[in-house]
Amino acid sequence: MLFNKYIFFFTTSVLITFILMSICFCNFCFANQNLQFSFHKLESDKKGHTLLIIGGIQGDEPGGFNAASILATRYKITKGNLWIIPNLNFISIINRSRGVYGDLNRKFAGISPDDPDYNTIAEIKKVILNKKVDAVLNLHDGSGFYRKKYIDDMHNPLRWGQSIIIDQKIIDHPFGNLMETAKKAVKEINLKIKSKEERYSIHNTKTYNGNHEMSKTLTYFAIRNSKPAFGLEVSKSFLTYKRAYYHLLVMENFFKNFGVEFERDFELSFSGVKDAINKDIQICLNNKILLDLEDARKQLRYIPFRKDKKIELNSRNPLFALVEYQGKYQVFYGNRNITYIYPEYFEYDEQCADSINILIDGVEKKINFGKMIKVKKHFVVKPIKDSRVNIIGFVGEDKNKDEANILVRKNDFIKKFSVDKSGLIYRIEVYKEKKFSGMVLVKFII
């Protein structure tokens, strides 16, 4: 099993075209089962403990996998280490299913080699058992609000939300006093939560005493192998951003208590987490095409794809996937289908330069393909030898005419050709004869 600083198994720069063959249980069923999980290592120069964070073990729990994704992309570790798997059950995330092949979190006590989840279970077990891992946090979204005594249908011992799960009180490990660790976390976390209903409790499932169902879980597999493990449950009664907020709030407390120090580039608040999930979401295809998907139209047409259909998808965010279906591509961001891409196929000019010069509000800049520029008033694409510039949506556009050396303003565009619903983002495409060279996005600032 190969480890590197950021990625395991599924990289954010990898061929990720999957063939959708049929509809199954009103969701997606893939012929090519290559939606592998990604492994992100955030490691510091200062020695310290290593926490393993797992999100997405059940695909219908977006609070967990979005929180883990934010950890992987928006945090910097300054002491100790975080190992993060944000999308363990990626195919179930896309399907909005608890488990396309059954509940993945009930397959750790035993699994048939014929089970489609067999390799996923085998690989995540290897990660958990790595000697560097000091503790495991498994992120879940649970129903209602856990209460030790019955209050009503949503607040009772059979609910899971707003709780820290332990399988037993103690194990033989330097951090093995699970009950005391959970008590300390709950006490400190609840001081930061104003709403009494939303405060956390400890739920000891007493798995060792004969809880057959919980004995099949990831956390109990870790416990049986002398690894401290905690299930972090947030209530499904909340919207996704609020669930992710609480997951991050709880995890940061665990980081502190395990001596892991960190920085983040956003405010830990409901609005800060909401922005972290929904803003600045982009994908780059084949290092030539950037698509800004924060406000994407439901359909993006005539995107220049390679004739051989090879697609390399790059994204800062590990929750993106591209799925081919009936001649178009669906772009998934976690469990959300963000847009449909309708491709137009070209040969790619692999010998072309990787940049163009653009006069942006009077200042000339060299811009690489697969990037976005911001424009206040106007831009001019400088002429490119033996190449043709096609500004998509430009009024009077002619596919056979070179649109370099033309002053272009926002009002010169037909809005329906924009990448975004707001009509602010447009495509500049460059061709050499009939071959596609690359694309730059232009975003007008208003």
Residue-wise DSSP of 105-144: GG-SS---TTSTTHHHHHHHHHHHH-TT--EEEEEEEESS
Confidence of residue 32 (pLDDT cuts 50, 70, 90): very low
Residue 298 pLDDT more than 60?
A: yes
Confidence of residue 401 (pLDDT cuts 50, 70, 90): confident
Q: Are 319 and 66 in contact (CB under 8 A)?
A: yes
The torsion angle over the Cα atoms of residues 362, 368, 371 and 377, rounded to 10 degrees, is 10
Mean pLDDT of 65-78: 98
Residue 311 pLDDT more than 60?
A: yes
Amino acid at 141: D
Report the C-alpha gap between 239 and 236 in whole angstroms: 7
Question: 12: which 2 tokens?
Answer: 């954010």
Query: How far is CA 19 from each of CA 28, 31, 314, 326, 327, rounded to the nearest angstrom?
Result: 10, 6, 19, 9, 10
Residues 216-239: pLDDT tens digits?
999 999 999 999 999 999 999 999
Residue 404 pLDDT more than 90?
A: yes
Residue 345 pLDDT more than 50?
A: yes
| CATH fold of 13-278 | Aminopeptidase (3.40.630)
> pTM of the full predicted structure?
0.91
* pLDDT score, position 12: 37
Mean pLDDT of 182-204: 98
Amino acid at 371: K
The domain limits of the chain are: 13-278, 282-346, 355-444
Residue 7 pLDDT more than 50?
A: no
* pLDDT score, position 135: 98
Mean pLDDT of 106-134: 97
